[in-house]
Amino acid sequence: MDGHTFVAELDRKNHELLRRLAPAQALTAESGGDLSTTTLLRIALKNEIEASEIAALWMAAAGDIELKLGLARQAGDEAKHYRLIEERLRELGDNLAGFNPLGEGYSPLFNFLRGLPTDVERVAAGQFTREAIALVKNTQFIELCERAGDSPTARLYREVIQVDERFHHEMGAKFLSQLAFDAPSQALARAARSRTLELAEELQTLAYRKKKIHHAPGC
């Protein structure tokens, strides 16, 4: 199949899968854990710094100028998200003294993404799939903030961060339709996408088991 058909099919499959993530409404009741905005925003900082770093690494490795420029923009966007979230945490009274988002090391998802050897795998995993997951998680996070009466955080996510994350996902779809043009490249993309979904799910399960945290915002 051609690249566009391939991407449309993968997109449909991702949507189906991601719909199964529990809706935010169920969270508070189910988790009984720490769903405070500051806890979740600290996790968001780690996600944003990892997303920025991955985009920067991939910019250097990318085979074409358009992709390099797209990744450069993304690295900047994720760094901007980091700063905005940091600012919001300060407003919420968390001064972040001594906090290092990478203090416990990089996530398994980051290490997997860093090891991907080709542009087609990187775009399928990082922009196309990871950003689709982020869009779903952020929608849930926005709901959570709204129900907690925290409209400034909800607005930051709805009006700034989500707009960029959508752009990253769509950029992923555009490049993937060019890069996944034949059976071998499509097989690579499919495998990278599946592993990304698995790792995202493992991370979520782990966070839930260890800290009762569900649906931290993504990037």
55: three-class secondary structure by DSSP = helix
Q: How far is the CB of 39 from Fe ion (least distance, A)?
A: 18
Q: For Fe ion, which residue of 168, 193, 195, 215 counts as binding (CB under 5 A)?
A: 168
Report the residue from 50, 53, 78, 119 that binds Fe ion according to the rule CB under 5 A: 78
The reply on whether position 123 binds Fe ion by CB under 5 A is no
The CB-of-162 to Fe ion minimum distance in angstroms stands at: 9
Find how far residue 34's CA is from the centre of its chain. 21
For Fe ion, which is the closer residue by CB, 7 or 186? 7
Residue 215 is a binding residue for Fe ion (CB under 5 A): no
DSSP characters for 139-170? HHHHHHHHHTT-HHHHHIIIIIIHHHHHHHHH
State the minimum distance, in angstroms, from the CB of residue 78 to Fe ion: 4
Q: Within a 10 A sphere around the Cβ of 204, how many other Cβ atoms?
A: 18
Helix (H) or strand (E) holding 174: helix 162-179
Determine, following the binding rule CB under 5 A, whether residue 81 of this chain makes contact with Fe ion.
yes
Q: Is 68 exposed, middle or buried (0-12, 13-18, 19+ CB in 10 A)?
A: middle
Give CA–CA dist 80/170, Å, rounded.
19
- With CB under 5 A as the contact rule, which of the stretches 79-87, 101-109, 180-188, 200-208 interacts with Fe ion? 79-87
Cβ proximity to Fe ion, 153 vs 186, nearer residue: 153
Q: Which residues bind Fe ion (CB under 5 A)?
A: 48, 78, 81, 165, 168, 219
